[in-house]
Amino acid sequence: MTRKTRHTPATDAHAPAGLPVSRRAATFAIAAGLASLPSGFASAQAPSGRVTVVTSFSNDVTAPFKRAFEAAYPGVTLEVQNRNTNAGVRFVQETRSNNQTDLFWASAPDAFEVLKQANLLQQYRPNAPGIPERIGPYTINDPGGYYFGFAASGYGIMWNERYTRANRIPEPKEWIDLAKAEYFDHVIMTTPSRSGTTHLTVETILQGEGWEKGWRTLKAVGGSMRQITDRSFGVPDAVNSGQVGVGIVIDFFAFSAQAAGFPVKFVYPTVSTVVPANIGIIANAPNQAGARAFIDFVLSERGQTLLLEPAIRRLPVNPAIYARAPQGYPNPFTGSIGLPNFRFDVGVSERRYRVVDALFDQLITGQLEGLKRVTRAIHDVEARLARRANVEAAALVARARDAIAAMPITAEQAVSADITAAFRGGSGQNRAPRQAELEQQWSNFARDRHDEAQGLVAQAARLAG
């Protein structure tokens, strides 16, 4: 009797992991990949029913994981509820007494610290062979076991090459480059109060450069903004389409755009960091077995390989997965990404999380028109001074820049009990009176400093001729 052999098409079986394949091939690969999952993976806790995850990630990220997880666990449904990071944190806080959510899944580690400190996450020890303790100076998992890094993320600058060439804009390398006159009205970012990843970028600059210098940089760059959006996805969309030339983004927005064929480039500035994007189980999760199974899945070899897909383009936390990555793929474990010379302090970030967001909104987002107006005036005077020097005028411009950079509170005050307690309430109409009072003070401070700077620049303009 002749034994029949089943042949797998070479296009499916031998396609390099992380490269595009057809839908049918991808489905086959997921099913075939189950054989390589950790021992007992598919049946260890026999999860069933619905697993609900609140996440800031787009459908491009969540859909491949949903398909693969449901294929690994027939009878389990992954329900994805999409909210930006800050809205997701508030949702978990506000529904704690009647929680129907199993997992929180987002980029910003300080958001997980907020939930951890509020006793809204539970401990777990995942089945995750091959994942080291650190990426550079940063611990991948929470030491207490309350949340886990599943992918690494870096923060930097993305630009559209066609746009920058057409507008004669040089390629940026550092954050402060975006404050130069060539970039005026060509930059876009998201406000950190609406984006956990942008908040982490802002906090990275503040920790890497120090409080005073960091805010000086942020305000100077703010003066170049075409727009400060409410949506993280609005930034890469605008840069990909060429509506705006340069965007401040998390790295995977640029990498996935490159994989899709958009003419974009990306750089990690010197003051940057690579930190884990995380996942954690809600303290009173209704589907404990399902939640644990999903965490084990995203940390498994199959889950880590999914990160290489063109629509996702995240950095795996398992170093072995990079052997399957396309040529030139960034690798934080081998030095292809310049890791920072400072250690990001997630505790400091957590303590002043809402204070930093409020400061940015009151000093930059809410004052953008005035900030741009005085920034344009400074650029105009500096252009004149480049043609004909005037020491007195230059001194006035320097004073104007100092006025813009001035801060209403110190780094120590930002983590003080008086100020942090004021920001533990809600947002909008639910703000505590003390929070509203502080925000109004900061808004007035910024407006007064912009008016002061405008007056100084006007004097400098008269002297410059």
Q: Provide block-wise average pLDDT over 10 residues at a time, the chain (465 residues).
A: 36 32 37 38 68 94 97 96 92 95 91 93 94 85 95 93 97 97 98 90 94 98 96 92 96 92 94 89 96 97 96 94 92 73 81 95 98 98 97 98 98 95 71 90 98 98 93
Give residues with Cβ within 8 angstroms of 289, minimum separation 6: 45, 46, 47, 48
| CB environment 353-381: b (16+ within 10 A), e (fewer) | bbbbbbbbbbbbbbbbebbbebbbbbbeb
- In the numeric block, the tokens 């006793």 are attached to 119
Residue 134 CA to residue 145 CA, distance in Å, equals 14
Residues sharing a CB contact under 8 Å with residue 453, sequence separation 6 or more, in sequence order: 374, 378, 400, 401, 403, 404
**pLDDT of 10:** 34
pLDDT tens per residue across span 52-87: 999 999 899 999 999 999 999 999 999 999 998 889
Distance of CA 156 to the CA centre of its chain: 9
Tell me which amino acid residue 18 is: G
Given this model, what pLDDT does residue 278 score? 95
* Residues in a beta bridge with 82: 55
Instruction: Find all residues with CB under 8 Å of 443, minimum gap 6, and list them.
Output: 362, 363, 366, 367
pTM score above 0.75: yes
Nearest to 312 by CA among 110, 85, 68, 51: 68
Q: Give CA–CA dist 255/257, Å, rounded.
A: 5
Task: Give me the domains of the chain, ranges plus CATH numbers.
Answer: 16-153+275-324 (3.40.190.10), 154-273+346-464 (3.40.190.10)
Q: Which of 318, 285, 375, 399 is nearest to 50 (CA)?
A: 285
Residue with tokens 């876009």: 188
Number of neighbours of residue 112 by Cβ within 10 angstroms:
28
- Please report, as a single letter, which amino acid is at residue 336: S
Q: What is the pLDDT of residues 217-228, one digit of tens each?
A: 999 999 999 999
Q: Are 442 and 454 in contact (CB under 8 A)?
A: no
Residue 171 CB partners (closer than 8 Å, separation 6+): 159, 164, 265, 267
Q: What is the pLDDT of residue 427?
A: 56
Whether the CA torsion 156, 162, 164, 165 is positive or negative: it is positive
Give the sign of the dihedral formed by CA 182, CA 186, CA 190, CA 191. positive
Token digits of residue 255: 């990498």
CB 332 within 8 A of CB 136: yes
pLDDT tens-digit readout, 283-319: 999 999 999 999 999 999 999 999 999 989 999 999 9
Residue with the two structure tokens 């130069």: 180
